[in-house]
A = this chain, B = another copy of it.
Amino acid sequence: MSVVQAASSLQLCRIMRPDDANIVGNVHGGTILKMIEEAGCIVGTRHCNTQDGDRCMAALVRVEKTEFLFPVFIGEVAHVTAEITYTSTHSLEVQVQVMSENILTGVKKLANKAALWYVPCSLKNVDKIMDVPPIKYASADQEELGRKRYGAQKMERQETKARIEDVVPPPPNPEDPPKGQHTVGFSQSSLIHLVGPSDCTIHNYVHGGVTMKLMDEVAGIVAARHCRTNIVTASVEAINFHRKIIKGCVVTVTGRLTFASNKSMEIEVFVDASSLMEAGKEKYRAVSAFFTYISLDKANKALPVPPLKIDGEEEKRRFEEGNARYLQSKAKRLAEKERQE
């Protein structure tokens, strides 16, 4: 019995417990995202420390768009496999696959596939980005494909970074006065969380997976308020982690509906962090992302989603942008399907 695992890959698994799931037994998307990120963080940190120089920790900077292909249930075992698939000078890509296994029936399903980008931060000085040791590729083609993915994500990260720094978005609207059902204001939700020790890496920064789990929790509340049914995470648009969150911070996570089609809803989620102690330091936007949810009946079949009531120019603009993302995803899915046929 040996524990041989290549330095650049990792397997991780866990039984899904009641607290991992909603009341009908569907495991939260956030639970899966957290496991994915834990695997990525381990494999990335391990790889970046195979060289001399400062010890470092792989910090999550981006998660590519992720689709939840099959729901996972309480009592099933989720297997997460992570592998480093590309390295640039200062960042690395980890591809992760999640299989759910029903250990009573033996049925296995591909639940999720994701790609994450990490950057190695020195433990001595968290602002110092270390070099990433190169991996070996199976073929020149593999490397070339990786280089393309790297270029594409880099451009997108820079773009959203500029956008965030230009326009600091206004704080979300308060809940009162009470809004009518199916409006944006009606389902908008916020939670706050005081960052604790188990949320953090050994240099006291919040794990990206912890943040994503909180984001999914808020998005789920928004979706359930809108539909009043069993809702599950269908996909998450690419998430860029621009700014780190440290132990002792208070995190405010806010979600609001931007768009609803007949079969799905899109929820925009903002994560704002602020230090409890340092009054001088302002609240800052750490992350934002779009989550797509669907509504399910008791047999796990998709239910129609109530139309979203739009009010004002701002909500209209966001709705149209959401619609564009929706149509783009749909076109992409169709193209892929055709290609496979």
Q: Copy number of this protein in the oligomer?
A: 3
Chain A 80-103 per-residue mask, 1 if CB under 8 angstroms from chain B, else 0: 010100000000000101010101
Determine the distance from Cα of A19 to Cα of B15 in the docked complex, in whole angstroms: 10
Chain A 102-114 per-residue mask, 1 if CB under 8 angstroms from chain B, else 0: 0111101000000
CB-CB < 8 A to A170: which residues of B?
176
* A77 close to B14 (CB less than 8 A): no
Determine the distance from Cα of A11 to Cα of B194 in the docked complex, in whole angstroms: 12
* A174 close to B277 (CB less than 8 A): no
CB-CB < 8 A to A123: which residues of B?
104, 277
* B18 close to A198 (CB less than 8 A): yes
Stretch at the interface among A41-49, A62-70, A308-316: A41-49
* B50 close to A279 (CB less than 8 A): yes
* B75 close to A23 (CB less than 8 A): yes
Q: Can you name the residue of chain B whose Cβ is closest to the Cβ of A79?
A: B3
Q: Is A307 in contact with chain B by the CB < 8 A criterion? A: no
Q: Which of B3, B23, B49, B278 contacts A105 (CB 8 A)?
A: B49
Stretch at the interface among A218-226, A263-271, A329-337: A218-226
Q: Which of B14, B23, B74, B181 contacts A23 (CB 8 A)?
A: B74
Q: Is A5 in contact with chain B by the CB < 8 A criterion? A: yes
Determine the distance from Cα of A105 to Cα of B228 in the docked complex, in whole angstroms: 6
Determine the distance from Cα of A81 to Cα of B3 in the docked complex, in whole angstroms: 7
CB-CB < 8 A to A181: which residues of B?
106, 279
* B225 close to A103 (CB less than 8 A): yes
* A224 close to B277 (CB less than 8 A): yes
* B174 close to A4 (CB less than 8 A): yes
* B192 close to A228 (CB less than 8 A): no
Which A185-202 residues sit within 8 Å CB-CB of chain B?
A: 189-194, 196-198, 201-202
Evaluate whether A103 and B224 lie within 8 angstroms (CB atoms) in the complex, with A18-B19, A277-B229 already known: yes
* A278 close to B1 (CB less than 8 A): no
Q: Can you name the residue of chain B whose Cβ is closest to the Cβ of A171?
A: B176
Determine the distance from Cα of A22 to Cα of B228 in the docked complex, in whole angstroms: 24
Q: Is A233 in contact with chain B by the CB < 8 A criterion? A: no
Determine the distance from Cα of A105 to Cα of B1 in the docked complex, in whole angstroms: 24
The 8 closest A-B pairs by CB, nearest first: A174-B174, A18-B197, A23-B75, A18-B18, A75-B202, A197-B197, A224-B276, A46-B103
Q: Show 12 residue pairs from A and B whose CB-CB distance is below 8 angstroms, ordered by the A residue.
A: A3-B97, A3-B174, A4-B174, A5-B171, A12-B13, A13-B189, A17-B19, A18-B198, A49-B277, A75-B201, A174-B174, A192-B221
